[in-house]
Chains A and B, each alone.
Chain A
């Protein structure tokens, strides 16, 4: 195929980005970086939606992407406000220092 890209490559890229997001969420201890990994996962899913919108020649995939973007914006706003409050109370951004119910 001289001028075309297989669709599975787009989906594979989306899988790689999703896995990177999962890795970041599970292995990083800074809460803001964990949030950014969540955004990375949401972006990967957006790519899948748009790829299938192309495949099925329907606009519904892009409508879903639109809604995912809006929800991600709302979630980022509230999540960052919560981080600000947590920082004001605990003066730390490390998730490990935020456990008061264990030990």
Chain B
């Protein structure tokens, strides 16, 4: 097929799926936090609150788009555009799956494979500081300015341990292209244990993974590092003066950042689209089993729920069983199973983000900076040194 047409189709699919994911990631977050706090979360709008994100979008669209007096108009309007554009650009190098063959079309499940993919993502993430800085400065108000300065200082401080953790992984993979990094993790130790970078000899990157996850918590301004946008400390931090769609822009940018960094963590440390145990041992049936289990749980709890939930839960259960049956078709398996593994790992990391938000209190700003510079940075450097030493001695 024509290269440009294929690229446009892939881009359209990725953008569409990403937009829906961002919308419903908000729903998942509210539901999970609600259940952690022993309450129900969104429930009334649509079955189990599934239409809540749409209602929220309509509400934000119809709110008054206020431009406070004294703001620097150009930068005030530019900042959310910048934030959301930069956080969506990094998706273009993430490998979602291996090469697939649909009819005459042979294509990788990746928008583009740069041979400097990892430093491209690092470069884009170091530019996201500007969205926040411009938002805070152009708001002509002291709380946004303080929030913006704190947030940008936090982001650039935690970029260092992030880069070092990634550098240790690059020592093991010998390539900067994300596709090749995932491909080098496709070996099996002893025939059954995955050689993901998390478990890779000569030095399993467990510390690197932990440092990466903590650093991306700080990069995306999530709890426990969300002081710059905390309600009780700084009104709402750098997006205090924003309303309606521009606020929605920052909101979407935060979730898009979360999705991007979890996809990066999956590709760098958890083996991307590779399964947990070899296909020769039946890992191709894992998605079908997982969906069948989910469907079974839904139907079981639907039969025992209140009258209000009985129909909706049973319908969801039936849908899950249908998807499980879909995964048993051999033609579909080659395309969907690697995608399932990638999305399952990314979903687990996103669940970790949401779980931590519902559990941990937030850091004070000086504790946050001290943690970043006095603990994370030395540990990251030590990780890099030990990895380098072992790679030089062994490999």
Is there direct touching of A and B in the complex, by C-beta distance under 8 Å? no
Give A residues with C-beta under 8 Å from B: none
Give B residues with C-beta under 8 Å from A: none
